[in-house]
């Protein structure tokens, strides 16, 4: 498809759409309602003529082809099933094979094969659509598009009204068609899970324009903009980046800590040894209680004895299970050099430094994934530098 547009009055239903689909691909269109998905599909099999642009199928100009012949070469499942009410299920399934002049025997074989595929009883072949439930009709709508064994199959939200189990088995079925039989599918869905499961490439559409065309993996890792991110949803984005999902996975686990009962002399010695200017304070069980900085020790060295006497009890910390995306901005905005990380029992487990955030920001802004360094977290690096006073966990 090249520079394809469909204009209705002032409205560009499809606006300069460009896509090169290879044989055997599984393309999923996804986008908000009215973004031009159906219009694009209908131009491919010439149920609509483009206002501008061109479409070629196997090198041949679709716009010069006989539309009726063209449609017999392309399987099509439409949004609202579209079974012929006055025809039996058998006749519905074999409409195109009949047009293609398959023998009756071959057609009957095919009908049986098809109905088996969607796990409906063979007796149903002699029923009429109204004698089937909505979900059953939809399954028939799907196999009807496959019955003629066309190489290109267009499917417009074919599984919308199906229960989850049927939906899943049909998803597996169409995926198998593509993977095993090498069929080319162009498939519209508004369900991102479906698109991610099925597609070799996803086309994201909004207001007639293609926003992003990429593999599922690429879309998840590098959504083109906020629109795509919202379409994907936060949970999937996090799942897609296992290396940077939670704070616990990017923190350094060598935070230097001390218990409140220790003397200032011991604290100073520890700072000196570990080359840090701040110690996190934990109780005997490791629960974070606060921090103590070199200034506090310096000012109070002659009047106080223990860490407990001088420590700051208010400390900003993050939970190891917090989602990084939610945490990074808070940390950066507050200007902390580093932030202690605790587990669900508020036990100190590590520290996040500004340096470790660089990787995350780099990744979020679309940095080159080959050069990321998330794995460095386990290496010995410079530990806690300074924990600024802050409000408590927020």
Chain contacts with ligand ADP (rule: CB under 6 A): 8, 11, 13, 31, 33-39
The Cα 154–Cα 158 span in angstroms is: 10
Residue 177 per-residue DSSP state: H
CB of 83 to ligand ADP, least distance (A): 20
CB of 35 to ligand ADP, least distance (A): 4
Looking at beta carbons only, is 34 or 286 nearer to Mg ion?
34
Looking at beta carbons only, is 204 or 279 nearer to ligand ADP?
204
CB of 51 to ligand ADP, least distance (A): 12
Looking at beta carbons only, is 33 or 58 nearer to Mg ion?
33
The Cα 25–Cα 22 span in angstroms is: 6
The dihedral of CA 186, 41, 98, 81: what is its sign?
positive
Partner interacting with residue 259 (select from ligand ADP, Mg ion, none; CB below 5-8 Å by kind): none
Buried b (16+ CB within 10 A) or exposed e, 147-184: bbebebbbbbbbbbbbeeebbeebbebbeebbeeeebb
Q: Is 344 helix (H, G, I), strand (E, B) or coil?
A: coil
CB of 223 to ligand ADP, least distance (A): 19
| Site for Mg ion, rule CB under 5 A | 38
204 beta partners = 30, 212
Looking at beta carbons only, is 29 or 317 nearer to ligand ADP?
29
Looking at beta carbons only, is 35 or 257 nearer to Mg ion?
35
The Cα 186–Cα 202 span in angstroms is: 10
Of the candidates 382, 383, 388, 381, the residue with the CA atom closest to the CA atom of residue 293 = 388
CB of 361 to ligand ADP, least distance (A): 34
């Amino acid at each position: 498809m090249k520079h394809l547009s469909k204009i209705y009055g002032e409205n560009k239903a499809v606006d300069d759409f460009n896509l090169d689909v290879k044989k055997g691909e599984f393309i999923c269109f996804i986008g908000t309602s009215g973004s031009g998905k159906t219009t694009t599909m209908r131009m491919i099999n010439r149920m609509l003529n483009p206002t501008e642009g061109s479409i070629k199928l196997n090198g041949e100009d679709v716009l010069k082809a006989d539309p009726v012949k063209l449609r017999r070469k392309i399987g099509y499942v439409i949004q609202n099933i579209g079974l012929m009410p006055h025809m039996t299920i058998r006749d519905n399934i074999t409409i195109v094979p009949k047009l293609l002049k398959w023998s009756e025997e071959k057609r009957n074989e095919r009908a049986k094969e098809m109905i088996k595929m969607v796990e409906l009883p063979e007796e149903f072949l002699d029923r009429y659509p109204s004698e089937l439930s909505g979900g059953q009709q939809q399954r028939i709508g799907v196999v009807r598009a496959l019955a003629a064994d066309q190489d290109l199959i267009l499917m417009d939200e074919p599984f919308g009204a199906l229960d989850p189990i049927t939906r899943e088995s049909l998803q597996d079925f169409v995926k198998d068609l593509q993977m095993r039989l090498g069929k080319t599918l162009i498939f519209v869905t508004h369900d991102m899970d479906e698109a991610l499961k099925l597609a070799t490439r996803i086309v994201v559409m909004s207001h007639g324009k293609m926003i992003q065309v990429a593999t599922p993996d690429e879309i998840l890792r590098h959504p083109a903009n906020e629109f795509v991110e919202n379409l994907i949803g936060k949970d999937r984005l996090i799942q897609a980046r296992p290396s940077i999902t939670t704070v616990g996975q990017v923190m350094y686990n060598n935070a230097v800590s001390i218990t409140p009962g220790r003397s200032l002399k011991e604290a100073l010695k520890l700072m000196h040894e570990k080359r840090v200017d701040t110690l996190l304070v934990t109780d005997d069980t490791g629960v974070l209680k606060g921090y103590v900085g070199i200034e506090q020790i310096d000012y109070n060295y002659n009047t106080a004895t223990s860490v407990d006497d001088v420590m700051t009890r208010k400390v900003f910390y993050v939970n190891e299970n917090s989602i990084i995306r939610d945490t990074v901005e808070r940390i950066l905005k507050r200007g902390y050099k580093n932030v202690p990380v605790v587990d669900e029992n508020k036990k100190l487990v590590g520290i996040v430094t500004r340096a470790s955030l660089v990787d995350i920001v780099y990744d979020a802004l679309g940095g080159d994934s080959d050069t990321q360094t998330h794995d460095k977290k386990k290496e010995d690096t410079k530990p806690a530098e300074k924990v600024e006073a802050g409000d408590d966990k927020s």
